[in-house]
A = this chain, B = another copy of it.
Amino acid sequence: MNTREKIIDSSLKNFLIFGYENTSLLKVAEEVGIKKASIYYHFRNKEEIFHESIRYLISTIKNTIEDSVGGKSNAKTIIHSLMNSIIEFNFHLSHMAGIEKSHFLSASRLMEYGLREFPDLKKDVDNYYDYIKNTLMDAIHSGQKNKEIKKEFNAEMLAFEIISKIEGFCLLSSSYSKFNINIVRQSMYDNLWKLIGDENSGKRGFFKYKAKSIPISTRW
């Protein structure tokens, strides 16, 4: 990892944990092992570092999803893997960031913050959600062809609903101490298939959530 990458790496960690304003470049410099002023050789200002960090975060999640979804053909498996990998990614962010559980860190919360402060990020964030939406819609369409999923559902609406569901679960995990994501996860999947699964399909059985770690890029 070169210095530039180290700066991004440490900054993203700090942004996720402390937020943009509470992340000091002095601390980042110390973590990287250089002096504060040296950061300005690599980046114009703090905002540029933030932009790069967000882009790096997005590409990391995308890779995680791709690794998890790639090669799978069955619609249920794809949708399940996608949901699982996003939740798992967020769930493990705190460990990846090197802090012990504490607060449930959330990638989309940081994106949302960035978006408000720096509207330029809109393109990147939209692009991220487009990717998820399209992956879901493809799976839904093929699932409707295979009779895994009822035809009555509009694929785009369903995709929106699934994304909202994931985001909501992650947000609630951060905010509501009585909400344990691992307890509701199975019922979340069950209810989704109960709703959209096609009864005419031969193998209608629900997925069982397997509590195995999914592969996450381990650069942290």
Contacts and interface: CB of A to CB of B under 8 A. Distances in A.
A58 to B, nearest CB: 12
Contacts of A194: 195
Interface residues of A, number: 43
Nearest to A154: B187
Contacts of A163: 168, 172, 176
Nearest to A109: B112
A135 interface: no
B174 A161 contact: no
A213 B172 CA distance: 26
5 contacts: A21-B21, A161-B191, A163-B168, A164-B184, A164-B188
B184 A157 contact: yes
A115 interface: yes
Contact of A21 (B19, B126, B184): B19
Given A112-B175, A163-B172, A168-B169, 9 more contacts: A115-B174, A125-B176, A157-B187, A163-B168, A164-B169, A164-B188, A167-B171, A168-B168, A191-B195
A194 to B, nearest CB: 6
A154 B175 CA distance: 22
Contact of A168 (B21, B154, B157, B166): B166
A111 interface: yes
A113 interface: yes
A147 to B, nearest CB: 18
Nearest to A179: B160
Contacts of A103: 115-116
A178 interface: yes
A131 B39 CA distance: 47
Given A165-B164, A165-B168, A175 B115 contact: yes
